[in-house]
């Protein structure tokens, strides 16, 4: 079978399409014939050797895929840690979900990582249900025009949350506003901490979804109002977040971690998340945002797009 291989650690240019042996399913796994796969920022980190738990190269890249169960027409979308960018994947049964009949395979490949991560960020922030009389919570979403970001904007709208989102470009912010983002902040033009202070009359937000690391963890804490929380789930700057916990004292704020790699194996967390997400999907209120589609042979260009911050929503590769 053809697969996108990381032959040695490096930038997007190392990715190579090669013939590889087809996977043999272990206990609890099934074979999926893939049609489309979704690129995640974590794939860039895996190729560079910076994603925890990645096996040494050579290895097949990819953590998200959509295709048909072997020998059937049943379409599934799946999550893995690596090995997904191939014509055939041995997928764990409990990491597979049915593809809604009205979705394309490309949309299926854009679902698992972005939508579970975004939903679980709201869950960790305590915002998936609230008393009817409660005031409308505010959330700041970093990289609101990205894969997880667009999912968080859509889910925020369904949860009736006032969303604030950052991006590097006015054009991306205009597009994400069409998805329901309430307030856009172009961080190339404006310091987002200052913008949040001004836009909320000095009050701050109830939660920040933080995937940048470096100085942004502390800056995100400073955007919170009393008892708010920062949900840390990435470090796209490549730098670990810097935070002195004393910064949390005065407003009783908190910082939580979120890692789908681990949570995906937790049925008590994933089943209620899927139940809620699939209700919205069935009502056609939630649909993945596929911004870019490349054939598998252009994996390098597709990775580079994400790295250059040029993507909107999800970048998908088609598998012939």
Among 6, 125, 127, 143, indicate the residue that binds ligand NAP (CB under 6 A).
143
- Under rule CB under 6 A, which residues in 47-106 are in contact with ligand NAP? none
Tokens representing 79 are 């999550």
- List the end-to-end C-alpha distance of the chain, in Å, as a whole number: 11
Would you count residue 227 as binding ligand NAP (CB under 6 A)?
Answer: no
For CA atoms 150, 151, 153, 154, give the dihedral sign: positive
Among 3, 86, 110, 113, indicate the residue that binds ligand NAP (CB under 6 A).
113
Residue 184, C-beta contacts closer than 8 angstroms, at least 6 positions apart: 144, 164, 165, 166, 167, 170, 173, 174, 176, 177
Nearer CB in complex with ligand NAP: 20/64: 64
Alpha-carbon span 212 to 217, nearest angstrom: 8
Among 11, 98, 252, 259, indicate the residue that binds ligand NAP (CB under 6 A).
259
CB of 207 to ligand NAP, least distance (A): 15
Among 63, 92, 138, 172, indicate the residue that binds ligand NAP (CB under 6 A).
172
> What value, to the nearest 5°, has the Cα angle with vertex 148 and ends 146 and 154?
95
Would you count residue 149 as binding ligand NAP (CB under 6 A)?
Answer: yes
Contact 42, 303 (CB under 8 A): no
Closest-by-Cβ residue to ligand NAP is 146
Among 145, 161, 230, 319, indicate the residue that binds ligand NAP (CB under 6 A).
145
Cis peptide before 62 (omega within 30 of 0): no
Among 258, 270, 286, 290, indicate the residue that binds ligand NAP (CB under 6 A).
258
Name the site residues for ligand NAP (rule: CB under 6 A): 40-42, 113-114, 117, 143, 145-149, 167-168, 172, 211-212, 233-234, 236-237, 258-260, 306, 309, 311
């Amino acid at each position: 079978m053809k697969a996108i291989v990381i032959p040695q650690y490096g930038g997007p240019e190392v990715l190579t399409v090669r013939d590889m042996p087809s996977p043999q399913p272990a206990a609890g796994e099934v074979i999926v014939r893939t049609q489309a796969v979704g690129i995640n920022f974590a794939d860039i980190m895996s190729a560079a050797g910076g994603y925890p738990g990645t096996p040494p190269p050579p290895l097949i890249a990819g953590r998200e895929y959509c295709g048909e169960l072997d020998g059937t027409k049943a379409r599934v979308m799946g999550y893995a840690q690596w090995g997904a960018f191939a014509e055939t994947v041995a997928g764990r049964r409990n990491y597979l979900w049915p593809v809604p009949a009205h979705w394309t395979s490309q949309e299926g490949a854009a679902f698992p990582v972005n939508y579970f991560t975004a939903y679980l960020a709201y869950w960790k922030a305590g915002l998936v249900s609230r008393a009817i009389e409660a005031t409308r919570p505010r959330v700041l979403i970093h990289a609101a025009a990205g894969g997880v970001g667009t999912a968080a904007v859509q889910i925020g709208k369904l949860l009736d949350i006032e969303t604030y989102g950052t991006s590097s470009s006015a054009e991306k912010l205009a597009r994400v506003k069409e998805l329901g983002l309430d307030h856009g902040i172009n961080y190339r033009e404006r310091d987002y901490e200052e913008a949040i202070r001004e836009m909320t009359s000095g009050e701050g937000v109830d939660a920040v979804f933080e995937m940048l690391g470096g100085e942004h963890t502390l800056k995100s804490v400073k955007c919170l109002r009393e008892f708010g929380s920062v949900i840390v789930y990435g470090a796209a700057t490549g730098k670990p977040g810097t935070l002195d916990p004393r910064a949390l004292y005065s407003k009783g704020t908190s910082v939580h971690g979120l890692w789908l790699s681990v949570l995906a194996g937790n049925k008590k967390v994933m089943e209620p998340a899927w139940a809620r997400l699939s209700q919205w999907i069935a009502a056609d209120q939630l649909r993945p945002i596929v911004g870019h589609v490349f054939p598998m042979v252009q994996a390098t260009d597709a990775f580079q797009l994400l790295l250059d911050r040029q993507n909107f929503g999800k970048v998908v590769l088609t598998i012939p």
